[in-house]
Each structure stands twice: as C-alpha cells, then as structure tokens.
Amino acid sequence: MRALIILFISLFLNRDTFFQKDNRASDQINTSVSFSVVGDLMCHSVQFKYAQVKEDSFNFNPVYSQIEKFLSKSDFTIGNLETVIAGNRYKYTGYPAFNSPEEYIKALADVGFDFLYTTNNHSLDRGEIGLKNTNEKIVINKMIPIGSFEKGKDTISIFEKNGIKFSLLAYTYGTNGFTLKDKSEFSLNYIDTNKIKKDIKIARSKQAEICIVYFHFGEEYSRKPSTFQKEIVKKSISYGADIILASHPHVLQPIEFFKNPSSKLDSGFVAYSLGNFFSNQKWRYSDAGMILNFELTKDQQTNKINLSKIDYIPTWVHKYSGVNKKEFIILPSNFKKFKYSETIQISKSDSLLIEQSYLDTKALIKKVEELSNYE
C-alpha cells in the first residue's frame, strides 16, 4: 500500500502534465472549458454519524443525490475541503478540530469533483500527519489537492483543456494557531502578497493564459466582504489574477466583475464567499450555498478569451429523519424549477426555509442574475 501511495504522489503532485483532459484543441475557431465551483465542504460530527453504515464504514454519496448531475456536468469541479482525513486511529471528530472518514473524500470523487482546495484554517487540525494523509487520500481517489503540497515539489501547475491553459492557486489567512515545524515534509500556502505576486508570475512564465486564485478569508457569518478581503483582491488583480474564488465566512457574499487590461480574459470576477455547500450549520444564511458555473471560450485565431457564460444553482442543506435513518441531503433551493425525489421528506416549515434561502441568495447575487440565463 505504501508503494502505491508513493507512486500516486510522484505522478500526481508533480502534475504539470497530469489532468489534461482531451487537451488538444480541435479545428474549431472557438474552444471552451467549463468549471463548477462550490464553497465549504465541512464535516461536523453529526454529519459523519448520519453517514455511518457500520461501526467503521460510512456512505456520504446520498448527500449529493439531488445535485450530482450539476457537479459532473462541467469539465472541472472544485470545492474547499474544510476538514482533514488523518485516519481512524486519530479518532473522527467535528468542530473545533476536524478529522473525517476517508469515505467523505471518496464520495466527492464519485460525484464529479476534480480539485479540492486544501489550504484553510482547519488544514492543520491533525498537524502534519493530517495534511499529508489528506493529500494522499485525495490523490488516491484521482483528484488533485490545491494549496498544500510536499516540500520540494513544484507547486505551480498548469492544466489544459481544449487548448486553454489555466493555473489554480490557493492561500489561507491562517490555520487557527497551528503551525508546521521547519523540518516538516509538507506545507501549505498562506496569504502573502509577495508570494501571490511571485506565484502568478511563475504561472504566466509557464504559459498559463488564465490564473484562477482561491482565498480562504473574511469574517465568519458576515455577508459583506471586509476591508482586508477587498485589499487582497485588489492587489491580486493588479498582479494578474483573472478569476478570484473564496470562502470561509460560511455564508454567501457578493460576486463582482472587473476588467484587467493586461489579461487575455475580457471580464474577470471575484466571488468573495461561496458559502457553505455541506455543513451542519443549520441557520439562516449558513444553510445556503451555490454551485457557481462559468465557461471560458477562446478564439483560437486571436487567442483572446471570453467569459462566455456564468450562472449558478442556489443550494440548501436539508437535514431530516427518514423512514430508515437520519439524512443529510443538498437540495437546489429553487424547488419551483428543480423537482426533488418523492422519497425526500420536506415539511411545510422546511419548505418555507428553502424558499427563504432561495430569495436571500437571489437578492444578494444580483450581478450574476443580470448576466446569466439562469432564470
């Protein structure tokens, strides 16, 4: 098993040539690449208890049954893994120091995730062993960790689809006071403007046409970006960031568009917080998230790239007691457009909460509503 892990790590963490899905552009004049992005993927203790099948086996796949088709639709699906997979010998726990079953990772792979951000304030909840094991489990399940890495490895990777090259960079504001020793074999990225500037420059030197940057930052439960968030975003745009994605507040924050004259992309955007996607934080705003979808289209003659599509599916985390067991399930909150399975039990009070969540999201994410064909 150890040999297998070493093989995967050597192949995948050295990943400039990995994950090039059908990477040759066709003879068409225009080619496209599509992304779906979600916010925080958390695992409080009640979540893994609901998913428990036997004493030490779990099944998280039912959580995604109503939204899996949306996650697997795009070329690449990305989320923020806000837990670690240290192993059962370190005891499974929820807040404040997370450690989740490996089945949590497997379910994400099964429903279509390709990349997981692994630099956030909970990345070191089990120290270096948690960070290391999490990366290994992600790779074994044929996904890629972004933001944490084995020291000495090239951390700036370029991915390609249909002749469009992009980089994924990720940084966190902190790790809840936990730190790694200098001799640690693994590390992760913190928000450092000098490093961000340097990393974007390296990505460009490797021919990245689009730089997608993720930040784990902001004030928890605030629906407005902080001064710090705005400052980091402004500087990152000046360094050459094309698209900025973020989470940590556990609620949705606005999406704003910007123009960067030095970019190949006609219009960039920042999603200040994508909210919770899967969590036990069952109160207004924190029970809501979204699947943010966007598409980039390249004119192969001029090499210019357009943000050709951007839309979203608002989501709501449903928690209920079914006939046989207790369930967590992520639902599209616009139930007037998306029909749920008849086996899902939704009370009248829950219906009102779902509708409230949908209206909250729609009111906040106005710019995307204007530009998309979601409605």
DSSP character string of 319-360:
EEE-SSSEEEEEEES-TTTSPPPTTS---HHHHHHHHHHHHH
Percent of the chain topping pLDDT 70:
90
3-state helix, strand, coil in the chain (%, to 5): 25, 30, 45
Domain contains 146: yes
14 belongs to a structural domain: no
Predicted pLDDT at 341: 79
CA-to-CA distance for 68 and 81, rounded, in angstroms?
17
Domain residue limits at 117: 20-371
For residue 12, being part of any structural domain is answered with no
Is the per-residue pLDDT at 344 higher than 90? no
Take residue 101 and report the two structure tokens written for it: 């079953």
The strand pairing partners of 30, in sequence order, are 299
In a domain, 277, yes or no: yes
Across-strand partners of 168? 212
Rounded to an integer, what is the distance from CA 119 to the centroid of its chain? 11
Q: Give the lowest-confidence range in 86-90, 203-207, 228-232.
A: 86-90
User: 333 in a domain, yes or no?
Assistant: yes
Q: What value does the mean pLDDT of the chain take?
A: 90
Query: pLDDT (tens digit, 9 = 90+) per residue, 154-192?
Result: 889 999 999 999 999 999 999 999 999 989 999 999 999
Choose among 212, 214, 113, 112: nearest CA to 164. 212
Edge-to-edge strands, sheet with 164-172:
158-161, 164-172, 210-216, 243-247, 268-271, 255-258
Predicted TM-score of the model (pTM): 0.90
Quick: pLDDT tens for 292-320.
999 999 998 899 999 999 999 999 999 98
- CATH number of 99's domain: 3.60.21.10
Q: What is the pLDDT of residue 144?
A: 97
Contact between residue 250 and residue 278 where contact means Cβ atoms under 8 Å apart: no
Instruction: Report if residue 168 sits inside a domain.
Output: yes
Q: Quick check: 9 pLDDT over 60?
A: no
Which among 73, 211, 238 has a CA at the least distance from the CA of 146? 211
Report if residue 11 sits inside a domain: no
- Dihedral pair phi/psi, residue 353, rounded to 5°: -65, -40
User: What tokens does 123 get?
Assistant: 């990345």
The total domain count for the chain is 1
Using DSSP, state whether 15 is helix, strand or coil. Answer: coil
- Quote the CA–CA distance of 262 and 238 in Å, as a whole number: 9
Q: Quick check: is 159 in a domain?
A: yes
Residue 55's pLDDT is what? 84
